[in-house]
Chains A and B, each alone.
Chain A
Amino acid sequence: MTVNSQPGAELPLQSQENVVIRFAGDSGDGMQITGNQFTTTSAIAGNDLATLPDFPAEIRAPAGTRPGVSGFQVRFSSSDIHTPGDSPDVLVAMNPAALVVNIADLKPGGIVLVNTGNWGETDLKKARLAKDPLKDGTLNGYRLIEIDINQRVKEALTDSPLSARDVQRCKNFYTLGLMYWLYSRPLEPTEKWLKAKFGKKPDLADANITAMRAGYNAGDIQELFQGRYEVPPCDTLPPGTYRNVMGNEALSMGLVAGAELAGLELYLGSYPITPASDILHYLSGYKNHGVVTVQSEDEIAAICSAIGASFAGMIGMTSTSGPGVALKTEALGLAISTELPLVLVDVQRAGPSTGMPTKTEQSDLYQAVLGRNGDAPLPVVSCSTPSDAFECAIEAVRLAVRYMTPVILLSDGYIANGSEPWRVPDADSLEPFRVKFQTETKDFHAFKRDDRLVRPWAKPGTPGLEHRIGGLEKDEHSGNISYDPINHERMTHLRANKIMGIQREIATPEVFGAKEGKLLVVGWGSTYGSIRSAMEICLRDGKSIGAIHMRHMWPFAPGLAELFARYERVLVPELNLGQLARLLRSEYPGVEFISYPKVQGLPFSTAELVARFDELV
């Protein structure tokens, strides 16, 4: 790196509307922290944001290898955005493996910043590269910036008491400082964060802050880049208090809010599983909200203990991913048969079987809607963005207690680990739905239904309401065991009708775009952002296209048949082989649903959706 006579500080500031940066390095390089810090700082700077971490499947694959690459993509913008972006403008590659794994995604003309300190023969070999990509033409058409970050950090920290090894661990903050300079971001939020994080180890805080400032100053004093940018604050965000939120955290807070609105104590039984474990982690930290969490011996025990807690008057919940749902299925049937409230969170991942645990997919829809023995319907609610996960979690709790039924709440890996700015709702504005337990003993039996076909919730400890429940069929009129054929058919209908009755409380989804016309796009779950972005592009081009996004996956919202009839064709993009399309076909046989499946463990890109929409209108 040569020091140029024209220092970077004098470069003109250019304004950009939106920028996508991908930080990529070894899983030990701290790329997630770097990305999260950049995100927080940009949030405070007032940008709209969307992030997407890309974790390696292995916890620590051998250093420098392709499977060991960890990435974090952040998009920040002065306008309203819905996705973390199809392709980065800037790729930060801390080693050759990080470069080779990510380079294909970079925008033509994009910036590649590489750490040449990790670019020796052995580094290339670990990345299975025969030739050096910096020299073989791979990077033609990109703007390459080479810095020996290892060396720079070493120089910056000559006075630090840290060991040489620990000094090298500050590399990510040097990189972050450089990016802060490039996009004119303040350093204070990260400095504050570092001081808080390493409160007991001031040497570490100091070293990281020094490294970050060194990176920032390098931008000022050396001409590394051709320009310096700023992304102004986004002024279309509605007023309010904001914070950045990840899907799993928003969902966890929604569960706590739901329990409080129901006036119940929250019981979570859970077993660790990617990508749902963070829900267990978050809720375990909310004990000051009276939350009880139990890490059970397995998935089955997790849901069963939650069912026991619901029987005894708490609101039982369990969080898992697809394989865990499979294990919990029999117990779900018990909760359906005994009509106990329960929330099961399924953070979907690529299947079948173990599949690709760290990759996203929407392929548990059949399992959620149909996957049980017997005729066993239950409500299925699906969240579409990290902040929507908060509302959907409340909705799931509400339906569970209002209809005395287990509810499946679908999220996925993309929502779980993605983040976006969230306008924090006013806690007092949330509508309570307090549960009233049965206390009246006169004419009580446990399966006596009200006008919504809902049975009473009589919890142990209540005098005079002693009763037995179980998975055997119950007599409609007494709640006692019954093998009577006609009674079984009646009960099967009653249970199904109770769930279908939820339709009365669901609004028909609102159409975005054309209210009638050539094409209706029906989306659900985490494809919301990509569909929305693609729709905005198509609408700008004047296309006759509308879109709805479904939250209630069972029962479906009312009014859909009329809605579908207003369009020539209906397209259903989803990250599976066409599960929603098939359910829709069976419910609305007259409508032609065109399935648009994708099963690569990746979200839809905006570009591929636009291309498909264009083909159809």
Chain B
Amino acid sequence: MSDSNVTPLTKKDLKSDQEVRWCPGCGDYSILNSVQTVLADLGIARENLAVISGIGCSSRFPYYMNTYGFHTIHGRAPAIATGVKIANPELSVWMITGDGDGLSIGANHTAHMLRRNVDVKVLLFNNQIYGLTKGQYSPTSPVGLRTKSTPFGSIDRPFNPVSFALGSGATFVARTIDTHPKHMEKIFHAAAQHKGTAYVEIFQNCVIFNDGCFDSVANRKVRDDRTFDLEPGQPMVYGKEGDKGVRFDGFDVEFTDAANAEVWDPTRPTTAAAQILAELDADHEKPTAIGIFRQVQAPTYDGGVRGQVNQVLATKGRGRLEDLLKRGETWTVS
């Protein structure tokens, strides 16, 4: 993926000349910042970066990146990114989406991109609300949320984005937090290294319509005690003092001390363990898992599509138009 004879980029090289127009205090700023930091680090030439988005606050993202970018239509970014990656496998393709874009109108495309394992890095900005249309509940909003379209509280049961991705057969699934740049950068790096769809849910605060939606876990004051980081091959240890630990007890999770913490393995043959951890945040009482839920190798779709064409070309030889036109029975009139 990294181009060796490329002058290293700085974060500044990746900033476009467009004024960033998110609300002051929006979580999107820090995500943009972290993405630029990581992409500059990767050693990929700027012209080989393509950022594809759908519609929503987060989907303005490509305009702020001095790379190739495509701000598309609502929910369809996965399909467009799939076409881009197949057309030019050399590109590093990043897709920006939100909970409305990626899990409501575009959930279908997201699921299919994940099951196909297209080599695209997906950043899902989850703020549990529709921001751009000014504050309606989204498919990740908790039951009971009062919004403009649910003045008496939402009655929809929400999606858990990580569970959704795991269930769709994603080969890389992670969760991170907008207020935690160090963690974000670590996760984005891992996503960039992954061959296949890398799906990252980012808890993102919308200061205007859903301020503090992740405060109970993401707030710096409580974060260390309210979250635990899934690091491949590392024990599931957490807490300000690093004294707490997590381990499985059958199909349950037990919160224990660090000494009893189980080592996390995101490469298990099934997603069962990852699913159990993904759903921990449902009640917002137990600590929430962040980090890498799944990281397995599988053939990529773009590689398969291209590989099949190349294989046919290799075995049959490049077809001549003339032969194609004359396929089947022909006869001559003189």
Seen from chain A, the residues whose Cβ lies within 8 Å of a Cβ on chain B are 40, 43-44, 46, 189, 237-244, 253, 256-257, 260, 265, 267, 269, 286-292, 294, 296-298, 300-302, 304-314, 316, 330-331, 333-334, 338, 423-428, 430, 459-472, 480-481
Binds A, one of B40-48, B195-203, B220-228, B288-296: B40-48
Q: How far is the CA of A257 from the CA of B329 in the complex (A)?
A: 20
Q: How far is the CA of A298 from the CA of B322 in the complex (A)?
A: 33
Q: How far is the CA of A312 from the CA of B47 in the complex (A)?
A: 12
Chain A residues with CB under 8 A of B108: 297-298, 301
**Distance between B193 CB and nearest chain A CB, rounded to angstroms:** 21
**Distance between A260 CB and nearest chain B CB, rounded to angstroms:** 6
* Contact yes or no, A467 B69, CB < 8 A: yes
B251 within 8 A of A: no
B328 within 8 A of A: yes
Interface of A is mostly: mixed
**Distance between A390 CB and nearest chain B CB, rounded to angstroms:** 8
Chain A residues with CB under 8 A of B283: none
Q: How far is the CA of A460 from the CA of B94 in the complex (A)?
A: 13
* Contact yes or no, A287 B91, CB < 8 A: no
Binds A, one of B31-39, B81-89, B151-159, B269-277: B81-89
Chain A residues with CB under 8 A of B326: 241, 243, 424
* Contact yes or no, B70 A311, CB < 8 A: yes
Chain A residues with CB under 8 A of B72: 304, 307, 334, 470-471
What 0/1 pattern do residues 62 to 81 of B give for CB contact below 8 A with A? 11011111111100101111
Q: How far is the CA of A333 from the CA of B55 in the complex (A)?
A: 15
Chain B residues with CB under 8 A of A291: 309
The contact size tier of chain B is 35 or more
Known contacts A461-B88, A463-B47; A241/B82 CB under 8 A: no
What 0/1 pattern do residues 313 to 334 of B give for CB contact below 8 A with A? 1001111111011111111111
Chain A residues with CB under 8 A of B71: 468-472
Q: How far is the CA of A287 from the CA of B16 in the complex (A)?
A: 39
* Contact yes or no, A466 B66, CB < 8 A: yes
* Contact yes or no, A308 B79, CB < 8 A: yes
**Distance between A78 CB and nearest chain B CB, rounded to angstroms:** 13
Chain A residues with CB under 8 A of B78: 301
Q: How far is the CA of A416 from the CA of B217 in the complex (A)?
A: 59
Chain B residues with CB under 8 A of A253: 324-325
Name the contact of B73 in the complex, choosing from A260, A334, A480 (C-beta under 8 A).
Answer: A334
* Contact yes or no, A286 B319, CB < 8 A: yes
B90 within 8 A of A: yes
B52 within 8 A of A: yes
Query: What is the chain A residue whose CB lies nearest that of B115?
Result: A297
* Contact yes or no, A311 B83, CB < 8 A: yes
Q: How far is the CA of A239 from the CA of B52 in the complex (A)?
A: 53
Candidate in A307, A316, A481 with the most chain B CB atoms within 10 angstroms: A307
**Distance between A283 CB and nearest chain B CB, rounded to angstroms:** 11
Query: What is the chain A residue whose CB lies nearest that of B108?
Result: A297
Q: Which 6 A-B pairs have the closest CB atoms?
A: A308-B83, A470-B71, A312-B87, A304-B79, A305-B83, A468-B69
Q: How far is the CA of A426 from the CA of B320 in the complex (A)?
A: 12
Q: How far is the CA of A253 from the CA of B325 in the complex (A)?
A: 7
**Distance between B163 CB and nearest chain A CB, rounded to angstroms:** 20
Candidate in B112, B317, B319 with the most chain A CB atoms within 10 angstroms: B319
Candidate in A305, A309, A461 with the most chain B CB atoms within 10 angstroms: A305
B18 within 8 A of A: yes
* Contact yes or no, B91 A269, CB < 8 A: no
Name the contact of B68 in the complex, choosing from A46, A243, A467 (C-beta under 8 A).
Answer: A467
Q: How far is the CA of A331 from the CA of B82 in the complex (A)?
A: 15
Q: How far is the CA of A237 from the CA of B331 in the complex (A)?
A: 12
Q: What are 10 A-B interface contacts by the 8 Å CB criterion?
A: A239-B332, A242-B331, A288-B318, A289-B324, A294-B305, A296-B112, A310-B83, A312-B50, A334-B72, A470-B70
B109 within 8 A of A: yes
B312 within 8 A of A: yes
Query: What is the chain B residue whose CB lies nearest that of A315?
Result: B87
* Contact yes or no, A40 B83, CB < 8 A: no
Chain A residues with CB under 8 A of B330: 241-243, 424
Q: How far is the CA of A286 from the CA of B323 in the complex (A)?
A: 11
* Contact yes or no, B91 A289, CB < 8 A: no
Chain A residues with CB under 8 A of B318: 288-290
Contacts A287-B308, A333-B73, A468-B71 known; list 7 others, CB within 8 Å: A242-B330, A287-B309, A296-B112, A297-B112, A301-B112, A308-B85, A471-B73
* Contact yes or no, B312 A288, CB < 8 A: yes
Chain A residues with CB under 8 A of B69: 466-470
* Contact yes or no, B305 A239, CB < 8 A: no
What 0/1 pattern do residues 81 to 115 of B give for CB contact below 8 A with A? 11111111011000000000000000011011000
Q: How far is the CA of A238 from the CA of B333 in the complex (A)?
A: 7
* Contact yes or no, A308 B84, CB < 8 A: yes
* Contact yes or no, B331 A241, CB < 8 A: yes
Candidate in B79, B85, B112 with the most chain A CB atoms within 10 angstroms: B79
* Contact yes or no, B87 A237, CB < 8 A: no
Chain A residues with CB under 8 A of B320: 427
Known contacts A238-B333, A241-B326, A460-B50; A468/B83 CB under 8 A: no
* Contact yes or no, B324 A286, CB < 8 A: yes
* Contact yes or no, A470 B62, CB < 8 A: yes
Q: How far is the CA of A256 from the CA of B313 in the complex (A)?
A: 15
Query: What is the chain B residue whose CB lies nearest that of A261?
Result: B321
* Contact yes or no, A243 B329, CB < 8 A: yes
Q: How far is the CA of A427 from the CA of B52 in the complex (A)?
A: 38
* Contact yes or no, B319 A311, CB < 8 A: no
Candidate in B80, B111, B320, B329 with the most chain A CB atoms within 10 angstroms: B80
Candidate in B68, B111, B305, B334 with the most chain A CB atoms within 10 angstroms: B68
Query: What is the chain A residue whose CB lies nearest that of B71?
Result: A470
Chain B residues with CB under 8 A of A238: 333
Query: What is the chain A residue whose CB lies nearest that of B334?
Result: A239
Q: How far is the CA of A291 from the CA of B86 in the complex (A)?
A: 12
Query: What is the chain A residue whose CB lies nearest that of B88?
Result: A312
**Distance between A421 CB and nearest chain B CB, rounded to angstroms:** 8
Q: How far is the CA of A471 from the CA of B328 in the complex (A)?
A: 44
Q: How far is the CA of A243 from the CA of B312 in the complex (A)?
A: 25
Q: How far is the CA of A469 from the CA of B70 in the complex (A)?
A: 5
Query: What is the chain A residue whose CB lies nearest that of B81?
Result: A308
* Contact yes or no, B79 A241, CB < 8 A: no
Name the contact of A468 in the complex, choosing from B63, B321, B324 (C-beta under 8 A).
Answer: B63
Q: How far is the CA of A313 from the CA of B84 in the complex (A)?
A: 9
* Contact yes or no, B73 A427, CB < 8 A: no
Query: What is the chain B residue whose CB lies nearest that of A44?
Result: B331
**Distance between B316 CB and nearest chain A CB, rounded to angstroms:** 4
Q: How far is the CA of A311 from the CA of B322 in the complex (A)?
A: 29
* Contact yes or no, A44 B52, CB < 8 A: no
**Distance between B90 CB and nearest chain A CB, rounded to angstroms:** 6
* Contact yes or no, B67 A466, CB < 8 A: yes
Query: What is the chain B residue whose CB lies nearest that of A307?
Result: B80
* Contact yes or no, A256 B324, CB < 8 A: yes
* Contact yes or no, A309 B112, CB < 8 A: no
Chain A residues with CB under 8 A of B306: 292
Known contacts A308-B81, A424-B325; A300/B67 CB under 8 A: no
Q: How far is the CA of A424 from the CA of B332 in the complex (A)?
A: 10
* Contact yes or no, A460 B91, CB < 8 A: yes
* Contact yes or no, B91 A312, CB < 8 A: yes
* Contact yes or no, B47 A464, CB < 8 A: yes
Q: How far is the CA of A237 from the CA of B332 in the complex (A)?
A: 10
